[in-house]
């Protein structure tokens, strides 16, 4: 006789009303995936949050405090209750009754023009030469780039050995070659700025060379080949084809040169604390903030003026890069 009793379900079979059988370990993998996703989010938050906090705490917050202090009179010694709000008086004083400001602004402008005219052009020329297959090219790159790794303070010390009035190498050479009397290269206010510019340009040249060399390596070789097929020589190829392709590098060089010209401080401070022909805005900021007068508010106003000048070139750079990205 055939039994009508239902047979027991096989292991793993689906009962009526139930979903598909769960695979062994699926729940474990799902929980592991949730934990991994949460760990990834925490890691991403730390990777983005910590640098952002550092930038805010070390860059933006001090900048905002500096802007706020520029509208006050404070000696930096008393408490916050001693801060006196005076509005834009410091800015008016800087442009009207502060004698070192005008020569400092002029010297920064001369510094900027010199860096563009000499080290930038020389660095580009060296990059074009080193872009070719030269024997020992890496050695030349290292030699020209070596001054970049030195601080401007150390550069100033090295050039003091060269420019020293009594024991300097340059005066000794001139005495042997032309029987010239010793020149006080750093003490004479008529020539010390240009002597310092040579030292600063020596360091700036290697940095510009490295930037342009990286840009030249990224230029599409087919552009040069097409120019050669059209009969263009090396000079015409560079001016009409290669140089326009270096627009991003040119913008970077522009910003770097402007920033170097404005933040030039170490070398003139080492020489004579930014006085006697070597006045620069950065040196005036330091002398007012930490000098004997301790005019924190006035020094902050000078720093804000320097910041505004820098922002003009940075905004031009960013806007140009954004326009190029949208094309």
Q: Per this entry, what is the length of the chain?
A: 327
Structural contact between residues 301 and 94, judged by C-beta atoms closer than 8 angstroms: yes
100-292 fold = MetI-like fold (1.10.3720)
Spell out the residues 6+ positions from residue 236 whose beta carbon is closer than 8 angstroms to its own.
227
Burial of 199 (0-12, 13-18, 19+ CB in 10 A): buried
Of 8-22, 31-45, 256-270, 304-318, least confident by mean pLDDT is 8-22
Give the tens place of pLDDT for each residue, 191-207: 999 999 999 999 899 99
For residue 1, pLDDT beyond 50: no
pTM, whole model, 2 decimals? Answer: 0.78
Give the tens place of pLDDT for each residue, 81-99: 888 999 999 999 999 999 9
Task: Compute the distance between CA of residue 308 and CA of residue 59 in angstroms, rounded to an integer.
Answer: 15
Rg (CA), the chain: 32
For residue 16, pLDDT beyond 80: no
Give the tens place of pLDDT for each residue, 226-264: 888 888 888 888 888 888 889 889 988 988 898 888 888
pLDDT > 70 in the chain, percent: 87
């Amino acid at each position: 006789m055939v039994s009508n009793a239902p047979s027991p379900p096989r292991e793993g079979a689906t009962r009526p009303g139930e979903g598909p059988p769960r695979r062994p370990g699926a729940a474990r993998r799902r929980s592991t995936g949730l934990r991994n996703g949460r760990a990834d989010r925490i890691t991403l938050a730390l990777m983005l949050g910590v640098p952002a906090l550092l930038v805010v705490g070390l860059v933006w917050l001090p900048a905002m405090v500096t802007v706020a202090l520029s509208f006050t009179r404070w000696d930096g010694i008393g408490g916050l209750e001693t801060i006196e709000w005076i509005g834009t008086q410091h800015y008016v004083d800087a442009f009207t009754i502060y004698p070192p400001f005008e020569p400092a602004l002029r010297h920064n402008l001369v510094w900027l023009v010199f860096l563009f005219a000499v080290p930038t052009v020389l660095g580009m020329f060296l990059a074009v030469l080193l872009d070719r297959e030269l024997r020992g090219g890496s050695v030349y790159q290292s030699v020209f780039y070596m001054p970049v790794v030195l601080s401007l303070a150390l550069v100033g010390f090295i050039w003091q050995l060269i420019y020293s009035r009594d024991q300097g190498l340059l005066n000794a050479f001139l005495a042997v070659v032309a029987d010239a009397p010793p020149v006080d290269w750093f003490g004479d206010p008529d020539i010390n700025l240009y002597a310092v510019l040579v030292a600063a340009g020596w360091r700036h040249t290697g940095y510009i060379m490295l930037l342009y060399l990286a840009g030249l390596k990224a230029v599409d070789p087919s552009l040069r080949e097409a120019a050669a097929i059209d009969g263009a020589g090396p000079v015409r190829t560079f001016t009409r084809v290669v140089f326009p392709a270096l627009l991003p590098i040119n913008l970077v060089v522009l910003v770097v040169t402007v920033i170097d010209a404005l933040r030039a401080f170490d070398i003139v401070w080492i020489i004579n604390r930014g006085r006697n022909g070597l006045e620069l805005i950065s040196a005036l900021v330091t002398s007012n903030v930490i000098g004997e007068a301790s005019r924190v508010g006035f020094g902050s106003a000078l720093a804000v003026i320097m910041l505004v000048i820098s922002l003009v070139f940075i905004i031009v750079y960013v806007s140009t890069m954004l326009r190029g990205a949208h094309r």
